Amino acid sequence: MFLPSLQRNSPLMFLNRHNPNLSLSCLLCLCLSLTEIMAPGKSRSSKRSSSSSTSYASTITTVVFLALCVLAIWMLTSNSVAPRQTSSSTATTKSNVKKDPPAFEDNPGDLPDDIIKFDEESNNDRKSQQDQKSESSSIGNSKDPNVAEDGDDGINDKQETSRVKESVEEQERQKENEKQISEESQQTSDGENEENQKVDEDQKLGEDQKHATEKQQQYVVSQDENIREFPSRISNRDQEQSLQQQLREDENRENTQDSKNDEDQQLQKQQDEEIVKNEENSETRQKQQKQQEFQDVTNDEHPQSQEAEEDPESQQNKARIQEVQQQRENDANQEAREENNTEGKPADSNSGESFPGGGNTGIPRESKESKKSWSTQAAQSENEKERRKEGSGVMGSIYGYTWQLCNVTAGPDYIPCLDNEKALRKLRTTGHFEHRERHCPEEGPTCLVTLPEGYKKPILWPKSRDKIWYHNVPHVKLAEVKGHQNWVKVMGEFLTFPGGGTQFIHGALHYIDFIQQSVPGIAWGKHTRVILDVGCGVASFGGYLFERDVLTMSFAPKDEHEAQVQFALERGIPAISAVMGSQRLPFPSRVFDIVHCARCRVPWHAEGGLLLLELNRVLRPGGYFVWSATPVYQTLQEDVEIWKEMSSLTASMCWDLVTIKKDKLNSIGAAIYRKPSSNDCYEQRKHKRPPMCKNDDDPNAAWYVPLQSCMHRIPVDETQRGTRWPEAWPLRLQAPPYWLNSSQMGIYGKPAPQDFVADHEHWKQVVKNSYMNSLGISWSDVRNVMDMRAVYGGFAAALRDLRVWVLNVVNVDSPDTLPIIYERGLFGIYHDWCESFSTYPRSYDLLHADHLFSKLEKRCRLDPIMAEVDRIVRPGGKLIVRDESSTIGEVENLLKSLHWEVHLTFSKNQEGMLSAQKGNWRPDIYLESS
């Protein structure tokens, strides 16, 4: 009779579904009432005398009522075990989309948000309760597995699952509507790029919401006991998590927009820098500092300017470029006003802007004040040949310049100052070998030298010391004449050098050891570092002295023994084309530790010892003269006469004959003399022959100065160069010379010793940080190096650990610092770059020019200088230029017209650097015969 009340739609089930505790209480009350009703009947029947059947029926009725109550309680309890509570999660999901408080449609008993607050501590407590209830629920299910299969509960599951699906579908439709609204709003407000970004973010947000919904549904299904007890707390927690997630997404959206703005600003900045850089490599380089010199050159003469005008990007940024130009002109004017305060300061390697690789843009400049403290070779040499030209040296058309091949008899071996046939025809005499001396053209040639047929990349050192390609130096005369003396031999496509010579047929190393055994004080590579080899032949002596850590300046004339010096340079051995004739050698006085002559056949005794006195000038006080020639060890009449003359001459010069030794293996002998280190002997001579030079004769004057038949006195003042022997090698490399006076201003404006140290550190940093890694130079391919404007020799000193040698060139119009270079164990030569250099074509692997060309522009044109650079650099050789930005631009244009490959150009604050490589290009047209 109570079963109808337990149907699903009955009031009791409705009450049980919405408030299980209340419905259970009502049922218990009903059962108790029925029990009360039955109890009186039982009592009354006991007072009366009734039959046992009546008592038995009453008992049965009571049991049935109790059973029905128990059954009702069990059904209500099992129905309340796993109700599907999905409306709360659905409302929470909707709240994530609408950002409104959740609606509790199916739970009128839920508390509002402002009453129940969820925090982390309550969440932890609730989690522990959930774990306990989950355990109890699992135990109960294991005891009665049929509970999960209740028919009413299955129907309830289906209906609630349907509601969940409808809620999810409604949510997706709502998201699509919001997405469309968001897209329209983005199109009207932020533009296309921002719109696409927001759509992607909304899609990502929708996916996150969908994932959150599924996760919440799973959580509700698995945690239904907790949902019944804390429905509003769960809703508030989900709402708070959703709000926090939304805030994070808004922040991410703002960060994304800020990042995009930063990227746009960075891109704009890069575009600005690219525009400035492109403009700097074209027009600005031509306009800075030399704008007045180029004001008459039209735009048609500068193709780079035309390209810049035709470039749409340049047109769009014209205003910006003009602004940058104006700013740079102002900076240049400011720098010019501060020149007197800054130009004399050496570069600080740790400050200022940097070149690629860390090179410093603050390149040291000569101090104007220091020029008062230093003499120049031009001033010292009274017969120095002036070569000043009118004008600024600007060509009519740089890129359009037409190069032609030199039409000369010398062909691929052309040396302009030694093969000047027009000047040689005008010579009145050749008795002092004037025809082997320098006779430079009035204007430097602008033609290019041809390549030998079959020319190949030179063999690398040290293999090149033993053999070279025949077609690179295709001369066989020396091999035919001197082949039996092991000078040079032809073997297939190679020319080989057995390492001997006329005086050391069995090898140069044996001969080198023989000299040191004769005079142990020579001490190769320690006491003796720099020597001069006169009449060097193919320079095998100097080539093998590298193994003893000795530098040799070898020279021989360009004479009938063709290609002696060319052989040496091709082998990777230092050498120049020169002759001892009527003029002084291009070296300072008192700089060579040893002067060597092996059967050089120079008439030392002739004309009062004129040539030997020149050796005395360049030999360091206390230095040695090694003479291994036939007069020393042969008894022919001519040799005996020469020996007598030499003995008398050397004694009158106060040279001490240290020893005469014979080498049995080579069947030769060597006489070793030593120059005095004081003036005592000079004052004690009975016959004042040769005479002492006049006081006004400068021993350091060497550029086009005639030879003098006199001797210069030995310095006696401790502050003068030549009173002491330099430090032992390698200490002398970095130690300031003892005779550098602190009261004398250095080249860059500091006291001379400090200036020396600053220059040394400067070039160490430049070579290490920039030249070694940033210029694309394979230093293993470099052997012959020339510093076209050396000051203290810092660049050469920085390359000391490489297998290279550096010829330091000091210009005749620059402060005379060449003695300092020799004092530190390096070597060099005087030269005027408005003339050609005395070397064969294709001699050097690398040329280095630091602030050279901007100085030369004041005296001569750049195009013949660049033709000379092209002449002496090997195909594949390199050029490094550091100079003013405007000069860098001119050099770059000239190199491009010569088909050189420019690897790097960089300019900063009116200073620039360039690195380029020579190719094999030669023009097809020969210069017309003059």
Query: 763-784 pLDDT, tens per residue?
Result: 999 999 999 988 989 999 999 9
Tell me the pLDDT band of 106, cut-offs 50, 70 and 90: very low
Q: Among the ranges 214-228, 300-314, 501-515, 516-530, which has the highest mean pLDDT value? A: 516-530
Residue 603, phi-psi category: left (phi > 0), alpha (psi -120 to 50), beta (remainder): beta
The pLDDT mean for the chain works out to 75
Residue 23 clears pLDDT 60, i.e. is over it: no
Q: What is the pLDDT of residue 269?
A: 60
**If we measure between CA atoms, which residue out of 611, 637, 636 comes closest to residue 627?**
611
Residue 155 clears pLDDT 70, i.e. is over it: no
pLDDT over 90, % of the chain? 50
Q: What is the pLDDT of residue 414?
A: 97
Higher pLDDT among residues 474 and 477, named by residue: 474
Q: How far is CA 884 from CA 761, 851, 857, 914, in A?
A: 22, 7, 12, 11
DSSP assignment string, 101-170: PPP-SS-TTPPPTTT----HHHHHHHHHHHHHHHHHHHHHHHH-GGGGG-HHHHHHHHHHHHHHHHHHHH
Q: What is the pLDDT of residue 739?
A: 95
Q: What is the pLDDT of residue 672?
A: 98
Residues 242/118, Cβ–Cβ less than 8 Å: no
Q: What is the pLDDT of residue 928?
A: 82
Higher pLDDT among residues 581 and 170, named by residue: 581
Residue 791 clears pLDDT 90, i.e. is over it: yes
Tell me the pLDDT band of 680, cut-offs 50, 70 and 90: very high
Among 125-134, 251-260, 352-361, 390-399, which stretch is predicted with the lowest mean pLDDT?
390-399
Q: What is the pLDDT of residue 253?
A: 60
Tell me the pLDDT band of 375, cut-offs 50, 70 and 90: confident
**If we measure between CA atoms, which residue out of 463, 624, 658, 627 comes closest to residue 550?**
624
Distance CA 518, CA 661 (A): 6
Q: What is the pLDDT of residue 487?
A: 82
Write phi, then psi, for 577 (nearest 5 degrees): -90, 115
Q: What is the pLDDT of residue 479?
A: 83
pLDDT over 70, % of the chain? 59
Q: What is the pLDDT of residue 430?
A: 92
Q: What is the pLDDT of residue 577?
A: 96
691-748 pLDDT per residue, tens:
999 999 999 999 999 999 999 999 999 889 999 999 999 999 999 999 999 998 999 9
Q: What is the pLDDT of residue 60?
A: 74
Write phi, then psi, for 200 (nearest 5 degrees): -60, -40
Distance CA 916, CA 904 (A): 7
Higher pLDDT among residues 7 and 254, named by residue: 254
Write phi, then psi, for 552 (nearest 5 degrees): -125, 125
Distance CA 842, CA 413 (A): 9
302-344 pLDDT per residue, tens:
333 333 344 444 444 455 555 545 555 555 555 454 444 444 4
Q: What is the pLDDT of residue 56?
A: 57
Distance CA 410, CA 417 (A): 12
DSSP H or E segment with residue 201: helix 191-222
Q: What is the pLDDT of residue 432?
A: 92
Q: What is the pLDDT of residue 809?
A: 98
Residue 150 clears pLDDT 80, i.e. is over it: no
**If we measure between CA atoms, which residue out of 807, 880, 869, 873 comes closest to residue 845?**
873
Statement: the pTM of the whole predicted model exceeds 0.85: no
Q: What is the pLDDT of residue 165?
A: 57
Strands (E), 419-519: 467-469, 489-491, 494-496
Report residue 5 CA to chain centroid gap.
93
Residues 6 or more apart whose CB falls under 8 angstroms from that of 436 comprise 418, 557, 558, 559, 579, 581
Residues 6 or more apart whose CB falls under 8 angstroms from that of 556 comprise 535, 536, 537, 564, 565, 575, 577, 578, 579
Q: What is the pLDDT of residue 57?
A: 59
Q: What is the pLDDT of residue 692?
A: 96
Residue 419 clears pLDDT 50, i.e. is over it: yes
Residue 4 clears pLDDT 60, i.e. is over it: no
Residue 479 amino acid letter = A
Higher pLDDT among residues 107 and 763, named by residue: 763
Distance CA 252, CA 168 (A): 26
Q: What is the pLDDT of residue 374?
A: 73
Distance CA 409, CA 419 (A): 8
Q: What is the pLDDT of residue 401?
A: 74
283-295 pLDDT per residue, tens:
555 445 444 443 3
Q: What is the pLDDT of residue 200?
A: 53
Tell me the pLDDT band of 530, cut-offs 50, 70 and 90: very high
- Sheet with strand 619-628: strands edge to edge: 575-577, 551-556, 530-534, 592-598, 619-628, 668-674, 656-663
- Is the N-terminal amide bond of 462 cis, ω within 30° of 0? yes
